Amino acid sequence: MTESKIISDKNNLTTGKPLKKILLFTIPVFIGFIFQQFYSIVDAVIVDRTLGQTCFSAVGITGSLSFLVLGFAQGITAGFSVVTSQYFGAKDNNQVRKSIATSFILCIAVTVVLTVLSVIFTRQMLQALNTPEKYFEYSYSYISTIFYGIGASILYNMVAYILRSLGDSRTPLYFLIVACVINIGLDFLFILPFNMGIAGAGWATVLSQLLAGIACMIYMFIKYPFIRLKREDWKTSFSFCMKHMRLAVPMGFQFSTIAIGIMIQQSAINSLGDDVVTAYTAASRIDQLAIQPICALGTTMATYCGQNYGAQQYERLRKGVRQSALLGLLISVAATLIVSLLGKQMTYLFISTATVRQTELCQQYLRYQGAFYILLMAIYVYRNSLQGINYSSITVVAGILELTMRSVAAFVLVKILGFVGVCLSNPIAWLGSDMILLPAYAFAVKKFKKLEADRQSQNMTVKNN
């Protein structure tokens, strides 16, 4: 048995019981996402404990900007890996290597463009958020540091998504855990002894991500010899680059449209006063932690569908999506219970000196979000499944509708209902996206049923002859 065959049998998602494979793949991704959230959460908590609540709120204000830029970068790297997963599912190792080399080339270009643009326009983006003057310079100091380190984020995410496209969801987790520990140590080192202030928290995040990315890349090529790049793998073509970009740009754009909606939401929040800004900062951190199992399941479905699409296992693909939706339903219910029952107590993890009003606002936001997690789950399962089968363009349409509905809700409902309008803007946006994604997946299922029937007919013809 060849090395590539052993690797394929161990890691591919085209064999075995779909639900078991999906669950085993999702668990390490989920744990990894939790630790990745710790980068920003630890920054916020340490900043609150060492620099005060003003700096804590300043970090929170930058969350939507960070998501706008780094989310786009993450979407791009995820899109590149879908192509890789399709070739891996088809057991075409030559094209797998070529896809990885092309991803490296394109990621370098993306890093240069995003870094230059984001650093130049940081102040303008903060002004667009109506960032209060008391937070502005703190927010600028933190987020500009993060933007200078975009390359570190892209490197780690690129390597992590490549490994996941090969069916390995554990290796990125191991290095991320180590990086999180380093991040905590660097946070205290840069903020206290080095007296770097809020920028120190940003540099701690950048350096720890860079270390995780480099170590993960080295280990990847050692562990999987069949993807070690050869000279000819770097000889890509415009058409092959475009094949990657056709999947990557819609996925990056999808993250950006969500981020723009959140920026509009943040702008509305900034006009409601300091207590609301602080409460929303804490609530959004808790919310992000609660939905990480849903996000991890979505990441799994992109790889699962990509591999099975490449292997032309259409019936298995549909079965896996159906089972993952049921699993997602259970996860959504659990997440709803956690934020509804424990949200108020969890507020103190992020705001050590939280007032009664801040904790009540935080709890109110979490109850509204939690009540509609099932809508968010449907987005992640079906959107990522569609991306894995080359339906990325329809996810852009869903993203635009989501952006539109979140923006309208933020502008209109906040003026009418105040903070309750903020709480309702996300669920309304999720509903809009589902209205596009669910019919699109139903259409894809009909197509796959026909393809599966045609393939079985051809197999019977060959067998009879």
In a domain, 462, yes or no: no
pLDDT at residue 239, rounded to an integer: 93
pLDDT at residue 352, rounded to an integer: 64
Q: Which residue has the tokens 């935080």?
A: 362
What percent of the chain is modeled with pLDDT above 90? 40
Rounded to 5 degrees, what angle do the CA atoms 9, 10, 15 make?
A: 55
pLDDT of 1 higher than 70: no
Considering only residues 69 and 464, tell me which one the structure prediction assigns the higher pLDDT: 69
Residue 289, domain extent: 3-453
The SS3 call for residue 229 is: coil
94, two tokens: 């030559």
Q: Hey, how many other C-beta atoms are within 10 angstroms of the C-beta on 339?
A: 26
In a domain, 72, yes or no: yes
Read off the pLDDT band of 48 (50, 70, 90). confident
DSSP annotation of 15: S
* Rounded CA separation 236/243 (Å): 11
Residue 277 and residue 138 in contact, taking contact as beta carbons nearer than 8 Å:
no
In a domain, 364, yes or no: yes
* Rounded CA separation 395/386 (Å): 8
92, two tokens: 């075409």
* Rounded CA separation 97/107 (Å): 15
Among candidate residues 436, 408, 72, the one with its CA nearest the CA of residue 254: 72
DSSP annotation of 234: G
DSSP annotation of 389: T
When divided into structural domains, the chain yields a total of 1
* Rounded CA separation 209/188 (Å): 16
DSSP 271-312: TT-HHHHHHHHHHHHHHHHHTHHHHHHHHHHHHHHHHHHHTT
In a domain, 465, yes or no: no
In a domain, 461, yes or no: no
Rounded to 5 degrees, what angle do the CA atoms 255, 261, 267 make?
A: 135
Read off the pLDDT band of 183 (50, 70, 90). confident
In a domain, 464, yes or no: no
Average pLDDT taken over every residue of the chain: 85
403, two tokens: 């952006």
Read off the pLDDT band of 2 (50, 70, 90). very low
Residue 134 and residue 277 in contact, taking contact as beta carbons nearer than 8 Å:
no
pLDDT at residue 355, rounded to an integer: 79
Helices assigned H by DSSP within 121-197? 122-128, 133-148, 150-165, 171-191
In a domain, 463, yes or no: no
pLDDT at residue 3, rounded to an integer: 44
- Write the pLDDT tens digit of every residue in 409-451: 877 887 888 888 888 888 999 999 999 999 999 998 888 777 7
